[in-house]
Amino acid sequence: MSRSIVNFLEGIGTDSRGRHLDQILDEDNRFWENTHDFIQWLFPLNEESRAVKNSPVLIDEEIAMIRSSERAQEGIRSATTRYQSFLLNTTPWKNAHNHNHLRITRVIKSLRLLMTDEAADAFKYWVAGQLGDRIDSINPESKRFWRLA
């Protein structure tokens, strides 16, 4: 088992491109919109990414380590806060189809897997609240993925 994803979330390791957690969190919204190989590190899952090859795929031991590590939990909370800031300050994701819909699904699933159901549901309801009446413009498939995540 590799500790690379655990170390990354704890802020003491790097992702596959040599970036530290704090570096990614400090990037501007343009980076967050246009770079596609970091979200899998901030919000890892126990399933392969269809979008980015060689992204971390968690095994049970890593999930347990992340769930029990306060530093990793804080890293995930910081990543969630930063992603919320990104969503607050951009609007393309509020359109019918946008790649951030897949990211939102990933965040919900990752929070459920690595933190708690309450954290995942709070993020999901926060997204819905940010959309308000515009939620009707989001494609039904994305909304279905969010509900099932």
- Print pLDDT tens along the chain (149 aa): 578 999 999 999 999 999 999 999 999 999 999 999 999 999 999 999 988 988 999 999 999 999 999 999 999 999 999 999 999 999 999 999 999 999 999 999 999 999 999 999 999 999 999 999 999 999 999 999 999 99
pLDDT of residue 5: 97
pTM above 0.95, yes or no: yes
pLDDT of residue 33: 97
- Beta-bridged to residue 20, according to DSSP, are 14
Residue 79: name the closest of 40, 53, 121, 116 by CA. Answer: 40
The total number of structural domains in the chain stands at: 1
In degrees and rounded to multiples of 5, residue 89 shows phi and psi of: -105, 10
pLDDT of residue 1: 56
**Please, are residues 21 and 8 in contact by the beta-carbon 8 Å criterion?**
yes
Residue 27: name the closest of 41, 40, 38 by CA. Answer: 38
Q: Which domain holds residue 12?
A: 4-148
pLDDT of residue 104: 98
Token pair 């399933």: residue: 47
Residue 122, helix vs strand vs coil = helix
Q: Of all residues in the chain, what percent are helix, strand and coil, respectively (each to 5)? A: 65, 5, 30
pLDDT of residue 51: 87
Instruction: Report how far residue 6's alpha carbon sits from residue 63's, in angstroms, rounded to the nearest whole number.
Output: 9
